[in-house]
Amino acid sequence: MREFPRPRLVVSKCLGFAPCRYDGSAIPDPVVEALKPHVDFLPVCPEVEIGLGVPRPPIRLVQGTPVRLIQPDTGRDLTAPMEAFSKEFLEGLSEIDGFILKNRSPSCALRDAKIHASADGPALGRGPGLFGAAVRALFPNLPAEDEGRLTNRALREHFFTAIFAFAALREVEASEDMGELVRFHTQNKFLLMAQGQAKLRELGRIVANPKKLPVREVLRQYGEKFREAFLRPPRRPSVINVLEHPLRYMSEG
């Protein structure tokens, strides 16, 4: 059986790694638990990292330009500490293939944290937490999901596909070997075809290297475009086309 490199994922620490939520609890997640034998996790709790205790008074996002992170019970504005930690932590990462973050969290949420009118006012809408927003800004081409969305089978399958493909690509990039890149591209031809014929052709042109670019530059271009190809799940017609492709060869034979 083919062995795959282990993806490296940043994960919210409260998702089964430590009881670090504001109320002192943890929320074990079945998807995270299922991945543990196959993935190297880097757990983090941004709120604890900026010095908030466990348990702690809740924090919330407050409308403004920019959005502020406020602890209503104490009146503390935690925006600057959270932004500073997020920048330092994320810029220090290397060899990361994706993120699983806590949904609805004012720090970790990627899209659905409540944004309030004031420290004690009603919620007006939703948006990313400050750490989640920094993840999106610094790693736009890496898969990032929350545990809620990973209950959706299609999103979960796409996330799994991306993180394992990216882990394998990391090994190719580290090898700085053109032969390894050709082998990787050949192995992932149908996977790329499912993401779109245009992406497959574009990556094929990079591998062909008609301008005789240095290997590092070819790998840089390929890595960027390969990761971009997985920003969205494949469309069903593309998947059907991939499944039918081998059948055409069989029928012709």
pLDDT, tens only, 180-190:
999 999 999 99
- Does residue 230 surpass a pLDDT of 80? yes
Mean pLDDT of the chain: 95
Mean pLDDT of 149-155: 97
Distance between CA atoms of residues 48 and 238, nearest Å: 44
At residue 240, the pLDDT reads 83
Sheet containing 113-116: give its strands across: 76-77, 68-71, 60-62, 113-116, 123-127
For residues 5 and 35, the answer to whether their CB atoms sit within 8 Å is no
- Stretch (H or E) spanning 40: strand 40-44
Q: Residue 113: phi, psi to the nearest 5?
A: -75, 145
Model pLDDT for residues 94-115, shown as the tens digit of each residue: 899 999 999 999 999 999 999 9
